[in-house]
């Protein structure tokens, strides 16, 4: 299964603050997935997190519940959730270790936790600042076999081995 996820975060703040909270009503994670027989996309509108802002973005922490991803097809969503032990590992989390800023672009190196397994990943993002908010859009790629013991399948075809996520 090839998955693309779009993450879109908006943090409202005043410049006197150093910790910015994501605006949950405007933040989302989106994915696009591909299978041998079809393709689809899904969205998670229940994203929480914070951005540490010290003369620029210095750290990012984001968490969401795996059950909150919706593709518009409840059977597909339930099939995917069969592979995710939500009682044991309900959250997907990301914590940055290092952020490099180049103009309005950032490269965030950090740790993602999914299915109780932690992996180092790199996230590329664009930052737009206005008077009272910061908007971050970016993408990341995950190899699901690093997190799941077995990939979901449909009609005897295993899903693609690369997930792409956008925010």
Beta strands in the chain (DSSP E): 2-12, 19-22, 28-34, 39-44, 47-53, 57-65, 91-102, 105-114, 117-129, 133-142, 153-154, 157-158, 163-166
Can you tell me whether residue 114 is helix, strand or coil? strand
Least confident window among 11-15, 35-39, 53-57, 104-108: 11-15
Query: Mean of the pLDDT values across residues 111-117?
Result: 89
pLDDT digits (tens, 9 = 90+) for 28-81: 988 877 766 677 888 999 999 988 877 778 889 999 998 898 989 998 788 777
Query: Mean of the pLDDT values across residues 2-19?
Result: 52
Backbone angles phi, psi at 73, to 5 degrees: -125, 100
* pLDDT the model gives residue 2: 47
Q: Is the pLDDT of residue 83 over 50?
A: yes
Q: Residue 8: which pLDDT band, with cuts at 50, 70 and 90? A: low
Can you tell me whether residue 91 is helix, strand or coil? strand
Report residue 40 as tokens: 């689809």
Least confident window among 82-91, 107-116, 124-133, 150-159: 150-159
Residue 131 structural domain: 2-166
Number of domains, the chain: 1
Q: What is the CATH number of the domain that holds 116?
A: 2.40.128.110
């Amino acid at each position: 299964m090839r998955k693309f996820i779009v993450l879109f975060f908006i943090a409202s703040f005043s410049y006197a603050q150093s910790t910015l909270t994501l605006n949950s009503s405007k933040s989302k994670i989106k994915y696009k997935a591909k299978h041998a027989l079809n393709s689809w996309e899904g969205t998670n509108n229940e994203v929480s997190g914070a951005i540490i802002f010290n003369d620029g973005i210095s750290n990012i922490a984001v968490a969401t519940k795996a059950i909150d991803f919706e593709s518009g097809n409840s059977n597909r969503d339930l099939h995917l959730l069969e592979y995710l032990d939500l009682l044991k590992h309900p959250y997907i989390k990301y914590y940055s270790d290092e952020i490099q800023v180049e103009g309005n672009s950032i490269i965030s190196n950090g740790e993602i936790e999914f299915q109780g397994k932690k992996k180092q990943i790199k996230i590329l993002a664009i930052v737009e600042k206005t008077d009272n908010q910061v908007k971050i859009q970016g993408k990341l790629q995950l190899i699901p076999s690093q997190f799941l013991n077995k990939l979901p399948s449909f009609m005897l075809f295993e899903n693609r081995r690369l997930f792409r996520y956008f925010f």
